[in-house]
């Protein structure tokens, strides 16, 4: 009888760890508990830095306060802020401006981002350099970039007006930030310039994941370039497009620094979005309760748009 | 022997702990720490305080001016305000209205601080009690480019008619490319309350006022209509660069691209530090053409109401040093503008620069006329007032409205604020 075949009755019983609070986390029965335990620090951190301020803002929005403090329910609850908000023409104007900006900036940015992604997805000399150039606006800190644009678009001494006059496109200097139409155009232009690189990078990543065989098979079947684009490229990058669209919409919705540095929301409210209105009410006019109400409404609109788009894009994917 | 050593060590530890407990660090936030003029003065005040309070320190932090009110509001709202509270004179009111600032009356009485004749101090009275001490009061003067005036054959303007005539004559496209190269004057036309500070030049000169002495809006008076018309004339006729901030206008002035700029006395320092050597001889400071000149308190010092009493005592000691005759004289010397304490400008300081007398004269003129940038009755709505005025003037220009219509709209909107 070999040593190995001897009965193991003489071996000491295996000691099992008593684990945390007597629970053996290594046991398959408790495996999910270990998962929750490992996730707990991150979840608690998110609760602390995201959910708590959000709850605080919702609480403040139901109080008629100018200066807010960190104590929940310190004064009487009221709907006054929401009543004032929904009867304010400024609020509805800000909704309108935000919606216009959302449609114009998102559509132009998506088009430019798609175009540049398709361009740098081709094989050509200097492709890496072209990719770097396209990504450049995204890499520059937002406020630095916008201050530079303020100088470029300066009505009296800006280089943009000089170029337009020299090219004979305008008769005299354009006061970009003094007229509602030109101010909106300036904001749109800078937002597109700042926003399209992100879209381009995302779409480029999507394009590179499309197997070449799909295109080869389509060519064999006689599909032209447009057919290949609409029947192979678009469906294959639809998931990426969906996520990018949601992120771009949310970025336009909440962007503050570009508009604030360029126009401060003016002239006569032509570029005053909900984000600008929230800041003005909170930190310029010191009406924290009212500003929180605008913030809560903005949050709800963003949540509805996101939920709608997520549903739509998930249908498109699957 | 061993017991004695242990007891000695314990006593030493106790003393050291007690000493550490008494030593305190006072938090102080300001936007002036890195400025060439105010920075050295604050450093001197801090050094003097630390010398008088061995072990105590002042932790001074620089905050950008544009972020200052937000930062202070966040700190007060979060329950951790700085110990030494430094605020702009036009933004302390909401803090006082919220009950966050100490009533300094008892401290002033106890210390025997005489505030009679203290420039701009009336602004610190909030609902019958003293909530701050004014640290700066100044009045506007005018910077002129004498070379441009001489070239156009013009004298230094001394009233609205001469001013606008000079602005028209000085605004030029020198190289004929269709772009104006030199503007008659420069204004703050961007957002922020400097918009109404600059506009106040024209309001006061026309005999108007934002509010009545009782604090009611006074926008629909003939004087205000005239002031709005004067302001809009400069913009409509393109006599000022569009969309500039006060800082931009000041920079364009030292570069020779704006011929006249009405400003606070800080303009002297900017000429000194920013103008080229070729440009400096052309840039001269003269009295404001408008009467009375814009004047006003600029920054105040105070303390929070919700800090322990022993800490309040130390903060008061700091305030007492900052407002002492010695430090007020130093202020007048290093800042280049008179400190608010009467008699703080010595003869030596007065003779130190050719402009000093001009600055003192403007300050006395504005103070005598009871001028302050913050309108009575609208103290807590100052920022909103600036926003409304700017928006309605923009609407007036864009939609080609009359000054009368704009004045009526302003009266209605500002009345609604109250």
Q: Is B165 exposed, middle or buried (0-12, 13-18, 19+ CB in 10 A)?
A: middle
pLDDT band at A309; cut points 50, 70, 90: confident
Instruction: Give residue-wise pLDDT tens across range B229-243.
Output: 999 999 999 999 998
CB contact under 8 A, A156 and B191: no
Q: CB of B294 within 8 A of CB of B139? A: yes
Q: Which of residues 391-410 of B touch A (CB under 8 A)?
A: 391, 394-395, 397-398
**Per-residue pLDDT at B39:** 92
CB contact under 8 A, B179 and A70: no
Contact partners, residue B3, CB within 8 Å, separation at least 6? none
Instruction: Give B98 to chain A, closest Cα distance, Å.
Output: 7
Q: Which of B94, B179, B394 sits opposite A286 (nearest CB)?
A: B94
- Judge whether residue A316 has pLDDT over 80: no
- Tell me the pLDDT of chain A averaged across its residues: 87
Rg of chain B, C-alpha, whole Å: 24
- Judge whether residue A317 has pLDDT over 60: no
**Per-residue pLDDT at B296:** 87
Q: What would the mean pLDDT of B316-324 be, rounded to a whole number?
A: 97
Compute, in degrees rounded to 10, the torsion defined by CA atoms B274, B277, B278, B281: 90
- Rounded Cα gap, residues A257 and A275, in angstroms: 10
- Rounded Cα gap, residues B30 and B13, in angstroms: 37
CB contact under 8 A, B398 and A165: no
CB contact under 8 A, B394 and A176: no
- Judge whether residue A106 has pLDDT over 50: yes
pLDDT band at B9; cut points 50, 70, 90: low
**Per-residue pLDDT at B380:** 86
CB contact under 8 A, A266 and B394: yes
CB contact under 8 A, A264 and B191: yes
> What phi and psi, each to the nearest 5 degrees, are found at residue B233?
-60, -45
**Per-residue pLDDT at A104:** 97
> What phi and psi, each to the nearest 5 degrees, are found at residue B133?
-120, 130
**Per-residue pLDDT at B3:** 52
CB contact under 8 A, B394 and A178: yes
**Per-residue pLDDT at A314:** 62
- Judge whether residue B17 has pLDDT over 50: no
**Per-residue pLDDT at B14:** 44
**Per-residue pLDDT at A71:** 62
- Rounded Cα gap, residues A291 and A60, in angstroms: 9
- Rounded Cα gap, residues B161 and A272, in angstroms: 37
Q: Which of B70, B73, B257 sits opposite A67 (nearest CB)?
A: B73
- Rounded Cα gap, residues A275 and A291, in angstroms: 10
Least confident among A138-147, B21-30, B213-222 = B21-30
Chain A neighbors of B70, CB-CB under 8 A = 283
Element containing residue B3 per DSSP (H, E):
helix B2-22
DSSP B412: H
Strand B25-30 with B57-62, pairing: parallel
In 10 A of CB B153, how many CB atoms?
7
Rounded percentage of chain B residues whose pLDDT exceeds 90: 66
**Per-residue pLDDT at B11:** 45
- Judge whether residue A105 has pLDDT over 70: yes
Instruction: Give residue-wise pLDDT tens across range B247-275.
Output: 899 999 999 999 999 998 888 888 988 89
**The token pair that represents A134 in the structure block:** 């396209």
The three-class DSSP label of residue B292 is coil
Chain A neighbors of B388, CB-CB under 8 A = none
Interface test with A, best of B240, B242, B252 (most A CBs within 10 A): B242
Instruction: Give residue-wise pLDDT tens across range B35-62.
Output: 878 999 999 999 999 999 999 999 999 9
Write the DSSP assignment of chain A as a string of letters.
--STTS--TTSPPPPPP--BTTB-TTSGGGHHHHHHHHHHHHHHHHIIIIIHHHHHHHHHHTB--SS--S-TT-S-B-SHHHHHHHT-HHHHHHHHHHHHHHHHHHHHHHHHHHHHHHHHTS--TTHHHHHHHHHHHHHS-HHHHHHHHHHHT-TTT-HHHHHHHHTTS-SS---TTTSHHHHHHHHHHHHHHHHHHHHHHHHHHHHHTS-HHHHHHHHHTT--HHHHIIIIIHHHHHHHHHHHHHHHHHHHHH--HHHHHHTTT-STTTT--HHHHHHIIIIIS--HHHHHHHHHHHHHHHHHHHHHHHHHHHHHH-
Instruction: Give residue-wise pLDDT tens across range A194-225.
Output: 999 999 999 999 999 999 999 999 999 999 99
Q: CB of B191 within 8 A of CB of A264? A: yes
Compute, in degrees rounded to 10, the torsion defined by CA atoms B186, B189, B195, B201: 30
Q: CB of B415 within 8 A of CB of B218? A: no
pLDDT band at A315; cut points 50, 70, 90: low
Token pair 């010191």 is found at A286
CB pairs under 8 A between A and B: 83
- Judge whether residue B313 has pLDDT over 50: yes
**Per-residue pLDDT at B193:** 86
Chain A neighbors of B242, CB-CB under 8 A = 155-156, 173, 175, 177-178
Rg of chain A, C-alpha, whole Å: 28
Instruction: Give residue-wise pLDDT tens across range B269-302.
Output: 889 888 999 999 999 999 999 999 999 888 999 9
Q: CB of B377 within 8 A of CB of B215? A: yes
Q: CB of B316 within 8 A of CB of B111? A: yes
Q: Which of residues 246-265 of B touch A (CB under 8 A)?
A: 252, 257
Q: CB of B324 within 8 A of CB of B332? A: no
- Judge whether residue B13 has pLDDT over 50: no
Q: What would the mean pLDDT of B213-228 be, rounded to a whole number?
A: 94
- Judge whether residue A30 has pLDDT over 80: no
Instruction: Give residue-wise pLDDT tens across range B123-165.
Output: 899 989 999 999 988 899 999 999 999 999 999 999 999 999 9
Cis-peptide into B242, omega within 30 deg: no
**Per-residue pLDDT at B220:** 92
- Tell me the pLDDT of chain B averaged across its residues: 90
């Amino acid at each position: 009888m070999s040593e190995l075949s001897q009965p193991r009755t003489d071996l000491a019983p295996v000691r099992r760890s008593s684990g945390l609070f007597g629970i053996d986390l290594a046991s398959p029965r408790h495996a999910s508990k270990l998962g929750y335990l490992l996730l707990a620090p991150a979840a608690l951190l998110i609760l602390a830095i995201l959910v708590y301020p959000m709850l605080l803002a919702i609480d403040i929005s139901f109080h008629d306060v100018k200066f807010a403090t960190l104590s929940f329910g310190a004064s009487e609850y009221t709907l006054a802020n929401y009543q004032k908000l929904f009867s304010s023409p400024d609020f509805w104007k800000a909704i309108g401006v935000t919606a216009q900006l959302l449609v114009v900036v998102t559509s132009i940015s998506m088009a430019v981002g798609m175009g540049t992604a398709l361009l740098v997805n081709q094989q050509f000399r200097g492709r890496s350099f072209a990719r770097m150039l396209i990504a450049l606006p995204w890499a520059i800190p937002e406020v630095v970039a916008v201050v530079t644009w303020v100088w470029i678009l300066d009505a009296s001494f800006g280089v943009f007006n000089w170029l337009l006059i020299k090219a004979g496109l305008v008769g005299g200097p354009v006061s970009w930030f003094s007229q509602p139409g030109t101010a909106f155009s300036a904001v749109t232009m800078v937002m597109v310039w700042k926003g399209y690189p992100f879209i381009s990078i995302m779409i480029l990543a999507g394009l590179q994941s499309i197997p070449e065989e799909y295109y080869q098979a389509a060519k064999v079947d006689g599909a032209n370039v447009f057919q290949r684009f609409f029947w192979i490229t678009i469906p294959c990058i639809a998931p990426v497009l969906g996520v990018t669209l949601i992120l771009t919409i949310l970025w336009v919705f909440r962007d503050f620094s570009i508009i604030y540095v360029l126009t401060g929301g003016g002239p006569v409210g032509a570029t005053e979005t909900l984000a600008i209105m929230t800041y003005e009410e909170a930190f310029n006019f010191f009406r924290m309760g009212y500003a929180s109400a605008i913030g809560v409404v903005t949050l709800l609109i963003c949540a509805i748009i996101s939920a709608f788009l997520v549903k739509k894009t998930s249908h498109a994917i699957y | 022997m061993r017991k004695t050593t242990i007891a000695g060590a314990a006593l030493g530890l106790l003393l050291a702990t007690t000493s550490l407990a008494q030593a305190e660090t006072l938090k102080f936030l300001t936007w002036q720490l890195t400025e060439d003029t105010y920075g050295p003065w604050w450093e001197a005040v801090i050094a003097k305080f630390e010398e008088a309070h061995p072990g105590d320190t002042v932790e001074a932090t620089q905050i950008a001016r544009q972020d200052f009110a937000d930062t202070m509001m966040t700190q007060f709202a979060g329950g951790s305000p700085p110990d030494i509270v430094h605020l702009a004179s036009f933004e302390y009111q909401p803090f006082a209205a919220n009950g966050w600032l100490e009533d300094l009356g008892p401290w002033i009485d106890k210390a025997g601080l005489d505030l009679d004749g203290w420039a701009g101090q009336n602004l610190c009275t909030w609902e019958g009690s003293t909530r701050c001490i004014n640290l700066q009061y100044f009045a506007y003067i005018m910077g002129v480019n004498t070379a441009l005036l001489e070239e156009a054959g013009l004298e230094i303007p001394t009233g609205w008619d001469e001013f606008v005539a000079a602005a028209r004559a000085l605004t030029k496209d020198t190289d004929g490319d269709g772009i104006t190269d030199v503007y008659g004057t420069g204004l703050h036309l961007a957002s922020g309350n400097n918009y109404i500070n600059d506009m106040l030049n024209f309001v006061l000169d026309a005999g108007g006022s934002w509010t009545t002495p009782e604090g009611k809006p006074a926008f629909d008076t003939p004087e205000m209509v005239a002031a709005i018309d004067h302001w809009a004339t400069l913009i409509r006729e393109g006599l000022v660069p569009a969309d500039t901030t006060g800082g931009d206008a000041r920079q364009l002035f030292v570069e020779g691209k704006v011929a006249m700029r009405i400003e606070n006395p800080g303009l002297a320092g900017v000429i000194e530090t920013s103008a080229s050597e070729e440009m400096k001889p052309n840039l001269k400071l003269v009295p404001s053409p408008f009467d009375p000149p814009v004047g006003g308190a600029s920054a105040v010092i105070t303390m929070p109401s919700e800090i322990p009493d022993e800490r309040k005592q130390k903060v008061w000691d700091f305030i007492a040093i900052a407002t002492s005759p010695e430090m007020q004289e130093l202020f007048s010397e290093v800042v280049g503008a008179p400190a608010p304490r009467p008699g703080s400008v010595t003869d030596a300081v007065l003779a130190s620069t050719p402009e000093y007398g001009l600055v003192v004269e403007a300050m006395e003129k504005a103070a005598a006329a009871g001028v302050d940038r913050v309108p009575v009755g609208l103290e807590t709505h100052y920022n909103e007032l600036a926003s409304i005025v700017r928006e309605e003037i923009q609407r007036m220009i864009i939609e080609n409205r009359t000054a009368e219509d704009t004045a009526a709209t302003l009266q209605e909107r500002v009345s609604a604020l109250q």
